Chains A and B, each alone.
Chain A
Amino acid sequence: MTTNSSDAAGPKHKTVEAGIALLIALFGAIVIVGSLKAGINWGAEGPRAGFFPFYVGIIIIASSAVNLLHVLRDGDNGLFAEWGQLRQVMSVVVPTAIYVGAMPFTGLYVASIVFIGWFMRWLGKYSWLTVLAVAFGMPIVTYFIFERWFLVPLPKGPLEEWLGL
Chain B
Amino acid sequence: MEEIVNLFHGFAVALQPFNIMVMVLGIVLGVIIGVLPGLGGANGVAILLPLTFSMPPTSAIIMLSCIYWGALFGGAITSILFNIPGEPWSVATTFDGYPMAQQGKAGEALTAAFTSSFVGALFAVIMITLVAPLVASFALQFGPAEKFAVYFLAFCSFVGLSKEPPFKTIAAMMMGFALAAVGLDSITGQLRLTFGFTELLNGFDFLIAVIGLFGIGEILLTMEEGLNFRGGNAKIDLRVVLHTWKGLPRYWMTSLRSCIIGCWMGVTPAGATPASFMSYGIAKRVAKNGHNFGKGEIEGVIAPETAAHAAGTAALLPMLSLGVPGSPTAAVLLGGLLIWGLQPGPMLFVEQKEFVWGLIASMYLGNLMGLIVVLTCVPIFAAILRVPFSIIAPLILVLCAIGAYSVHSSTFDVILMLVFGVVGYLLKKCNYPLAPLVLAIVLGDKAEEAFRQSLLGSQGSLGVFFSNALVSTIMILGLIALFWSAIQQGYSRLRTAAA
Chain A interfacial positions (CB closer than 8 Å to B)? 1-2, 13, 16-17, 20-21, 24, 27-28, 31, 34-35, 37-39, 42-43, 45-53, 56-57, 59-60, 63-64, 66-67, 70, 80-81, 85-86, 88-89, 91-93, 96-97, 99-101, 103-104, 108, 112, 115-116, 119-120, 123-124, 126, 134, 138-139, 142, 145-146, 150-155
Interface residues of B in 168-225 (CB under 8 A from A): 168, 170-171, 174-175, 177-178, 181, 185, 187-188, 190-195, 216, 219-220, 223-225
Residue of B181, B397, B427, B460 touching A96 (CB-CB under 8 A): B397
- What are the nearest 8 A-B pairs in CB distance? A124-B390, A46-B456, A34-B193, A38-B192, A119-B394, A49-B185, A53-B181, A63-B171
Measured in the bound complex, the distance between the Cα atoms of B216 and A122 in whole Å is 20
Known: A60-B175, A93-B421. 14 other contacts (CB 8 A): A1-B225, A1-B226, A16-B429, A45-B188, A52-B448, A56-B178, A81-B429, A91-B223, A96-B418, A97-B418, A100-B417, A103-B405, A120-B391, A146-B406
Residue of A31, A37, A91, A134 touching B391 (CB-CB under 8 A): A134
Residue of A20, A46, A53, A134 touching B193 (CB-CB under 8 A): A53
B427: chain A residues at CB < 8 Å are 20
Report whether A45 and B187 are in contact in the complex, using a CB–CB cutoff of 8 Å.
yes
B187: chain A residues at CB < 8 Å are 45-46, 49
B227 proximal to A (CB < 8 A): yes
B73 to chain A, nearest CB (A): 22
Give the number of A-B contacts (CB < 8 Å).
195
A144 to chain B, nearest CB (A): 12
Report whether B391 and A124 are in contact in the complex, using a CB–CB cutoff of 8 Å.
yes
Contact flags B311-329 to A (C-beta < 8 A → 1, else 0): 0000000000000000000
Measured in the bound complex, the distance between the Cα atoms of B414 and A1 in whole Å is 31
A152: chain B residues at CB < 8 Å are 50-51, 53-54, 406
Report whether B393 and A92 are in contact in the complex, using a CB–CB cutoff of 8 Å.
yes
A28: chain B residues at CB < 8 Å are 174, 178
A96 to chain B, nearest CB (A): 6
Q: Select the residue from A28, A37, A100 with max chain B CB neighbours within 10 A.
A: A100
Report whether A116 and B192 are in contact in the complex, using a CB–CB cutoff of 8 Å.
no
- B-side binding surface: helix, strand, loop or mixed? helix
Interface residues of B in 38-66 (CB under 8 A from A): 50-54
B433 to chain A, nearest CB (A): 13
Chain B interfacial positions (CB closer than 8 Å to A)? 50-54, 165, 167-168, 170-171, 174-175, 177-178, 181, 185, 187-188, 190-195, 216, 219-220, 223-228, 388, 390-391, 393-395, 397-398, 401-402, 405-406, 409, 411, 414-415, 417-418, 421-422, 425-427, 429-430, 432, 448, 451-453, 455-456, 460
Q: Select the residue from B54, B168, B394, B455 with max chain A CB neighbours within 10 A.
A: B394
A155: chain B residues at CB < 8 Å are 405, 409, 411
A138: chain B residues at CB < 8 Å are 395, 398
Residue of A34, A38, A146 touching B50 (CB-CB under 8 A): A146
Q: Select the residue from A96, A112, A115, A124 with max chain B CB neighbours within 10 A.
A: A96
Question: What are 14 residue pairs bridging A and B, where the CB atoms are less than 8 Å apart in the complex?
Answer: A2-B224, A38-B190, A38-B191, A43-B188, A48-B190, A53-B192, A59-B174, A80-B429, A89-B220, A92-B219, A115-B397, A123-B390, A138-B395, A146-B402
A45: chain B residues at CB < 8 Å are 187-188, 456
Report whether A31 and B193 are in contact in the complex, using a CB–CB cutoff of 8 Å.
yes
Report whether B170 and A27 are in contact in the complex, using a CB–CB cutoff of 8 Å.
no
Measured in the bound complex, the distance between the Cα atoms of B53 and A145 in whole Å is 13
When C-beta atoms are compared, the residue in chain A nearest to B431 turns out to be: A17
Measured in the bound complex, the distance between the Cα atoms of B395 and A115 in whole Å is 9
B53: chain A residues at CB < 8 Å are 150-152
B226 to chain A, nearest CB (A): 6
B453: chain A residues at CB < 8 Å are 46
Measured in the bound complex, the distance between the Cα atoms of B312 and A29 in whole Å is 36
Residue of B171, B394, B402 touching A120 (CB-CB under 8 A): B394
Residue of B191, B417, B422, B430 touching A93 (CB-CB under 8 A): B422
B192: chain A residues at CB < 8 Å are 34-35, 37-38, 49-50, 53
Contact status of A100 and B401, CB under 8 A, knowing A47-B455, A115-B394: yes
Report whether B170 and A63 are in contact in the complex, using a CB–CB cutoff of 8 Å.
yes
Report whether A96 and B390 are in contact in the complex, using a CB–CB cutoff of 8 Å.
no
A87 to chain B, nearest CB (A): 10
Measured in the bound complex, the distance between the Cα atoms of B415 and A143 in whole Å is 21
A91: chain B residues at CB < 8 Å are 223
Report whether A146 and B181 are in contact in the complex, using a CB–CB cutoff of 8 Å.
no
Residue of B51, B170, B409, B460 touching A150 (CB-CB under 8 A): B51
B167: chain A residues at CB < 8 Å are 63, 66-67, 70
Report whether A38 and B185 are in contact in the complex, using a CB–CB cutoff of 8 Å.
yes
B237 to chain A, nearest CB (A): 31
Report whether B177 and A88 are in contact in the complex, using a CB–CB cutoff of 8 Å.
no
A35: chain B residues at CB < 8 Å are 192-193
Residue of B393, B394, B401 touching A103 (CB-CB under 8 A): B401
B456: chain A residues at CB < 8 Å are 45-47
Report whether A115 and B398 are in contact in the complex, using a CB–CB cutoff of 8 Å.
yes
Q: Select the residue from A57, A88, A92, A138 with max chain B CB neighbours within 10 A.
A: A92
Residue of B177, B390, B397, B422 touching A53 (CB-CB under 8 A): B177
When C-beta atoms are compared, the residue in chain A nearest to B55 turns out to be: A150
A3 to chain B, nearest CB (A): 11
Residue of B178, B398, B414 touching A57 (CB-CB under 8 A): B178
When C-beta atoms are compared, the residue in chain B nearest to A24 turns out to be: B171
